[in-house]
Structure 1
Amino acid sequence: MNTNISKTIILTLAIIGINIYTAKAQQLDPALKDLISKGLDKSHSLTINNLDAEQAKIDQNLAKTVFLPKITFNGSFTRLNDDLTLDGDTQNLLMGTQKLLIKEAIGMPFNSPFPESIPLSEIPNLQDKNILKSSVDLDWVLFSGLEAHNAIKASKHKETSLNYLGYAEKDKIALKIIEAYDKLALVYASKEVINATKAYLSEQERYVKKAIENGLAIPISLKKIELAQQQLASKELEFNHNRILLIEVLHQLTGEHKEALALLNPKLQSITVISNTATDKRNEIKALEAAEQAALYKSKMEKSHFIPKVALKGHYEFIEEDLSLLDPKWFIGVGIKWQVFDGMQSKLKSQKSKLESQKYRAQREEAEELIAMSIIKAQLEYESSLQNSVIAQKEVELATATYEMINKQYKNNLASINDVIEALTDLEKANFKLQESYFDQRRASTNRLHAKGQLTSFYK
């Protein structure tokens, strides 16, 4: 067997790890960033959250419209069973009064008979039975007792809370896509290890066949190599299945075509992200803070129900002919509405909203404790992952040196083919372990960024 070729294959196995180990990714792969962007656009949960935020914004506008004047046009036709008139005695009294006034006007004594030649005016109806009305009303709230003001504040904080929940959801989606992408990179890296091992076994097979022809080896040695090749083929099939599954996962998360995902060639790289020593406030905490404020303003809104409200009222009739004798053509006025007791409803609603704000505060305090613990855990896992990568690299170097030594012994008939295959298997396992250590390191790094509230700036 050509010793230079063997060393080249071994070097290939080691370089797969060394290149990954020394590469430092301060930023994400552009292809991964593009997938995250598509995943955020596709997310149904984000769409629902954005719609809820839009509804909260509309609630603010609805509260503001309380102070806009409301103008209403009215029109109606009514037919009564009869005209509304004064009773007979009142009509006679009015007719007698009319005669006295006429006598006085023409200078006749009041006890003289009334001249029949002088016409008298009919007593008008209080309301004709046919009534046609057309009018306009103006209602204008001048002061809502701070109820609208507090409602606007509550809706604004609710919108802020929903926006922060949306940011938190974006981070969760990004984490899922990054993890799936890195798993796909791990599959491709493992495939490279398998290909390098396969190439070596193929060369070893040729060496053993030639040795058998020269009587330097027995056929059983060839069978053992063939068994190792079958075992390697089984691993290759397993990794191909994993690749198909991961492409399907990325397709579901991002909506990207499977054909385009199949063309991706992600690489595992050791992430060295310089994060701030200070911890940024997580979006989940900001969302709970805003929700707490929204509940407090909702409580104030319920309390302000007892404050007097001031409103302006106006009315104008377009058709004057059908008005009754008692109906005005127009009027305008300012009124105060003061509800001093509503059966305890406002008080109980206010207490309920206040308890809701206390619930959000308790959730926030609990979340802060859990996040503080997760930061410590993420930091420890990150440090451990770095150390594990160093250890895995040393194991690859040891496995490589061991294999080279046993391979030389085998060529000098000082070791069996079993020893060679076992050493190669150990080298293969060491390289797999190294790839997994890089994957774990990337997980620990992104989890640390997420725990410290700094993930968004990493994938944006």
Structure 2
Amino acid sequence: MKNNQSRLSIILLAFACFFSSISIAQQLDPELKDLINKGLNKSHGVKIQYFNAEQAQVDQKLAKSVFLPKVTFNGSYTRLDDNISFDEDTQNLLISTQKLLIKEAAGIAFNSPFPAGIPLAPVPDLQNKNILKSSMDVDWVLFSGFEASNALKASKHKEASINYLAMAEKDKIALQIIETYDKLALVYASKRVLTTSENFLDEQEHYVRKAIEYGLATPIGRKKIELAQQQLAGKMLEFNQNKKLLIEVLHQLTNESKEKLTLLNPQLQPFTADSLSKTEKRNEIKALEEAEKATLYKAKMEKSNFIPKLALKGHYEFLEEDLSLLDPVWYLGVGVKWNVFDGNQSHLKSEKSLIEAKKYRQQLEEADEMIALSIIKAELSYEASLQNTEMIQKEIELANDTYEMIDKQYRNDLASIKEVLDALNDVEKANFKLQQSYYDQRRAVTNLLNAKGTLNY
């Protein structure tokens, strides 16, 4: 009756997985958490995403810098073939005008000849042939036609998308480290099973040796024990190879020294479902949403190319000596630039960005479908692992009882050594299958939490 109630509770718990998400108290070892942190710090993929995010931050600063005044200092030297001056008629006109002004100032009649001996100022050249200039220009955009503001918004959403991609990359690395760590724990579990089998075989070898001495057993029984020991040695070799390989994988993932990794003693413990939790949005979904928004703002930025731009222009000459008679020392002005037609380039660029946004929308819908499927798959795997664990526990009880019974029969010459070895092999397989069940359960739980966006490490 008790077993039926236990089985019913497991079925009800698994059935609840179809209607709500599962909150699992993740019992991660401190060593595993430390390895995850080291793996995240070591990951080249995460670092690359952070560099991409920094580039997006620089793009934001570039968008803001459009409204900062640009100040440039200029210097130049030019030598002409000759001075630039007025033509001869204009020079004569200017000289005549100078004479009239002098006669008027001296009170001389208009028709009287110009007095001799009065010096006249030469007509200055328009531009000396040696031109040395030093100036400063100021260009200040007052209104960019919303182009800069849309570029700023696009860069912010791009940065957010990259940050979510970095978080998704962290989830992948954490899952990979957890899985490798659990595989190492499964390998160590196999070692414990093998050690138990080795002790059983040593005990059986001692018993057979004594039995042969008293004529109660034949040397064939001892050879069967020796064969089982050789098979066990092969399994030990496989254990050492798997251990070495997994430690190498953890070393590459975390950059932790192999010496410290060798000292680890991971153990598989089943996760427990203690409450129900809600589903959160995956980082991959958030990244696609932000990328879509960034692309839409990019399309707006490209469309705003047709909006008039307003800018201020200033200029100041530091050296006045070499300026021409027509050059100003300084000037300040405000201008409007209106791009009416650019060969349809802005429109086509905007249309291309809108198509890109549609692609992100399709990726979003596909990701939602794949996540929903992965949640169902993980829930089914978790349900199967619970039932499988209960079944294996019963299998272990039966295997132990069978081994004890056959061992007693063998000691009383009621069973063969082959039957004892087969029963011992069944015990070994059942115990390892339990560890494998714990491993499958942990995979199902971590995959479920990852699919629901609630994986914490």
TM over 0.5: yes
Match of residue 69 from structure 1:
69
Q: Amino acid of the residue matched to residue 97 of structure 2?
A: T
How many matched pairs? 434
Please show how residues 167-246 of structure 1 align to structure 2 within 5 Å: 167-246=167-246
Match of 2:339, SS state, is coil
Give the deviation of 1:206 after TM superposition.
0.5
For 1:107 and 1:219, the matched residues in 2 are separated by: 155
Match of 1:114, SS state, is coil
Structure 1 segments of 4 or more deviating over 4 A? 273-276
Asked if residue 53 in structure 1 is aligned to residue 53 in structure 2, the reply is yes
Match of 2:311, SS state, is strand
Question: Can you give the 5+ residue segments of structure 2 that lack an aligned partner in the other structure?
Answer: 1-23
| Contact 1:67–1:141, Cα closer than 8 Å, also in 2 | yes
- Say if 1:77 and 1:274 are closer, same or farther in 2 by CA, change over 3 A: farther
For 2:274 and 2:73, the matched residues in 1 are separated by: 67
Match of residue 39 from structure 1:
39
For 2:274 and 2:128, the matched residues in 1 are separated by: 89
Match of residue 16 from structure 1:
none
For 1:425 and 1:302, the matched residues in 2 are separated by: 72
- Say if 1:273 and 1:133 are closer, same or farther in 2 by CA, change over 3 A: farther
Match of residue 328 from structure 1:
328
Question: Can you give the 5+ residue segments of structure 1 that lack an aligned partner in the other structure?
Answer: 1-23
Q: Amino acid of the residue matched to residue 96 of structure 1?
A: S
For 2:25 and 2:284, the matched residues in 1 are separated by: 27
For 2:208 and 2:291, the matched residues in 1 are separated by: 73
Instruction: Compare 221-230 and 103-112 and name the one that shifted more.
Output: 103-112
Give the deviation of 1:392 after TM superposition.
1.1
Please show how residues 22-37 of structure 1 align to structure 2 within 5 Å: 26-37=26-37
- Say if 1:254 and 1:273 are closer, same or farther in 2 by CA, change over 3 A: farther
Q: Amino acid of the residue matched to residue 403 of structure 2?
A: Y
For 1:39 and 1:108, the matched residues in 2 are separated by: 103
For 1:438 and 1:152, the matched residues in 2 are separated by: 50
Asked if residue 142 in structure 1 is aligned to residue 142 in structure 2, the reply is yes
Please show how residues 209-288 of structure 1 align to structure 2 within 5 Å: 209-274=209-274, 276-288=276-288
Give the deviation of 1:371 after TM superposition.
0.4
For 1:349 and 1:27, the matched residues in 2 are separated by: 52
| Contact 1:160–1:287, Cα closer than 8 Å, also in 2 | yes
Give the deviation of 1:271 after TM superposition.
1.1
| Contact 1:275–1:454, Cα closer than 8 Å, also in 2 | no
Instruction: Compare 138-147 and 95-104 and name the one that shifted more.
Output: 95-104
Give the deviation of 1:27 after TM superposition.
2.7
Match of 2:313, SS state, is strand
- Say if 1:276 and 1:71 are closer, same or farther in 2 by CA, change over 3 A: farther
For 1:438 and 1:278, the matched residues in 2 are separated by: 25
Please show how residues 436-451 of structure 1 align to structure 2 within 5 Å: 436-451=436-451
For 1:422 and 1:379, the matched residues in 2 are separated by: 36
Give the deviation of 1:276 after TM superposition.
4.4
Root-mean-square deviation over aligned CA pairs: 1.1
Match of residue 81 from structure 1:
81
Kindly provide the CA deviation profile for residues 99-130 of structure 1, in whole angstroms up to 9, marking residues without a partner as x.
11211221222222211210011001000111
Match of residue 15 from structure 2:
none
Match of residue 13 from structure 1:
none
Kindly provide the CA deviation profile for residues 232-260 of structure 1, in whole angstroms up to 9, marking residues without a partner as x.
11101101110000000000100000001
Q: Amino acid of the residue matched to residue 446 of structure 2?
A: T
Kindly provide the CA deviation profile for residues 59-114 of structure 1, in whole angstroms up to 9, marking residues without a partner as x.
00000000011111111111111100000111111111111121122122222221
Match of residue 122 from structure 1:
122
- Say if 1:25 and 1:452 are closer, same or farther in 2 by CA, change over 3 A: closer
| Contact 1:85–1:124, Cα closer than 8 Å, also in 2 | yes
Kindly provide the CA deviation profile for residues 366-388 of structure 1, in whole angstroms up to 9, marking residues without a partner as x.
10011011111111111111111
For 1:107 and 1:276, the matched residues in 2 are separated by: 113
For 2:114 and 2:301, the matched residues in 1 are separated by: 72
Q: Amino acid of the residue matched to residue 143 of structure 1?
A: F
| Contact 2:25–2:274, Cα closer than 8 Å, also in 1 | no
Instruction: Compare 410-419 and 56-65 and name the one that shifted more.
Output: 410-419
For 1:125 and 1:219, the matched residues in 2 are separated by: 129
Match of 2:335, SS state, is strand
Q: Amino acid of the residue matched to residue 292 of structure 2?
A: E
